[in-house]
A and B are shown apart, each in its own frame.
Chain A
Amino acid sequence: MVAVVEDDGRIVISAADRLMDQLREACDRMGQRDATADLQQWRGESEADRLDRLEHPDIDPKGAARRGRELLSELGLE
Chain B
Amino acid sequence: MSDPVALLDASALVAVLFQETGHDVVETILDSGRAATTSIALAEALNVARRKTHELDASTLRTVFAMKGLRVEPVIEADAIATAVVLAIADQQRTTRASISLADATCLAVARRLDVPVVTGDRQWTDLSLDDVTIRLFR
Chain A residue contacts of B45, Cβ below 8 A: 54
Q: Contact size class for A?
A: 20 to 34
Cβ of A59 and Cβ of B21 under 8 Å apart?
Answer: yes
Cβ of B121 and Cβ of A59 under 8 Å apart?
Answer: yes
Cβ of A68 and Cβ of B138 under 8 Å apart?
Answer: yes
Of chain B, the residue at the smallest CB distance from A48 is B101
Chain A residues touching B, majority SS: helix
Cβ of A46 and Cβ of B21 under 8 Å apart?
Answer: no
B: number of interface residues (CB 8 Å)? 38
Cβ of B48 and Cβ of A42 under 8 Å apart?
Answer: no
**When chains A and B are docked, how far (Å) is the Cα of A54 from the Cα of B102?**
14
**When chains A and B are docked, how far (Å) is the Cα of A47 from the Cα of B101?**
5
Shortest distance between the CB of B32 and any CB in chain A (Å): 5
Of chain A, the residue at the smallest CB distance from B9 is A54
Chain B residue contacts of A76, Cβ below 8 A: 5
Contact with B along A30-62 (1 / 0, CB 8 A): 000000000000110111011101110111110
**When chains A and B are docked, how far (Å) is the Cα of A60 from the Cα of B121?**
10
Cβ of A67 and Cβ of B137 under 8 Å apart?
Answer: yes
Max chain B CB contacts within 10 Å: which of A54, A57, A71, A74?
A54
Residue among A42, A43, A51, A71 making CB contact with B138, cutoff 8 Å: A71
